[in-house]
Amino acid sequence: MSNNVAHLFPNARTAAFDCGAFIVERLQDALAKREQATLAVSGGNTPKLLFEYLRGVEFPWAKLLLFFVDERAVPPNDSDSNFRLANKNFLEPVAFPRENVVSVHGEIPYRTAAEEYSKAIRERLHLVEGELPVFDVVHLGMGPDGHTASLFPGDPVLADRTGIAAPVIGKKMPPERVTLLPGVLLAARSAVFLLDGADKQKALNEVLTGAEDVQKYPAQIVARSGQRVDWFLAGLHWPEGA
């Protein structure tokens, strides 16, 4: 029985809304056990509908700490900013407490931003040196090349299991980025992928059923972890044997 669980949908909206409901359930489960819940969100295009769902739900946002899976090295008001995507479509409309958002300073040099982001996560979650954050939910996307977060094929950071965040030169524009590292994605209590588009079918097949090669298909880091991973898919089919 695979650890990868399929949730298939006919279109991006139903996939995103069901994914949002699933994430909210996981966060509510977390609040039943702990004072605060933690969520790390990805950027790109697909999450826009997820954020539309989230801004429409009743949730004690003051009990949620929000982090970013990755960020581009651009100012927070830049059209390429993952923070801007979340802020415009979700955080501002729900009046999400700004002090509960831990974001990457995209406006400063990306190596410095990566160091500061790791430090900010450690401080906010009261982590000791070497301790990884355990997010209740990590929301991930995947590119047609099988990258996830800003973990791109062939990048040396793919082997890192101890760091929190790192600067990378991505294969997707804009290239300079800060990304959470594999160890943090693996430590999450729940990893959720939201994918839309047939252009990702080949990568999805390889990530789920192809030869294991995380250097080639970084999303395998999560998919092959043995831990439960929930996939919300629009316009894609679930490969045989996944």
If one asks whether residue 42 binds ligand 6PG (CB under 6 A), the answer comes out as yes
Residue showing tokens 């590292």:
181
If one asks whether residue 146 binds ligand 6PG (CB under 6 A), the answer comes out as no
Q: How far is the CB of 179 from ligand 6PG (least distance, A)?
A: 8
If one asks whether residue 89 binds ligand 6PG (CB under 6 A), the answer comes out as no
Q: Which two tokens stand for residue 181?
A: 């590292």
Q: Which is nearer to ligand 6PG, 63 or 172 (CB)?
A: 172
Q: Which is nearer to ligand 6PG, 74 or 187 (CB)?
A: 74
CB atoms closer than 10 angstroms to residue 221: 21
> Which of 149, 164, 168, 208 touches ligand 6PG (CB under 6 A)?
149
Q: Total binding residues for ligand 6PG by CB under 6 A?
A: 16
Q: Could you tell me the sign of the dihedral formed by the alpha carbons of 221, 227, 233, 238, in that order?
A: positive
Positions in 173-232 near ligand 6PG (CB under 6 A): none
Q: How far is the CB of 43 from ligand 6PG (least distance, A)?
A: 4
Q: How far is the CB of 71 from ligand 6PG (least distance, A)?
A: 7
Q: Which two tokens stand for residue 211?
A: 């030869």
> Which of 141, 146, 182, 218 touches ligand 6PG (CB under 6 A)?
141
Residue partners of 84: CB distance under 8 A and separation at least 6? 76, 77, 78
Q: Which is nearer to ligand 6PG, 87 or 150 (CB)?
A: 150
Q: SS3 for 83-144, per residue?
A: HHHHHHHHHCCCCCCHHHEECCCCCCCHHHHHHHHHHHHHHHCCCCCCCCCCCCEEEECCCC
Cβ neighbourhood burial of 156 (10 Å; 0-12, 13-18, 19+): exposed
Per CB under 6 A, residues contacting ligand 6PG are 42-46, 69-70, 82, 141-143, 147-150, 172
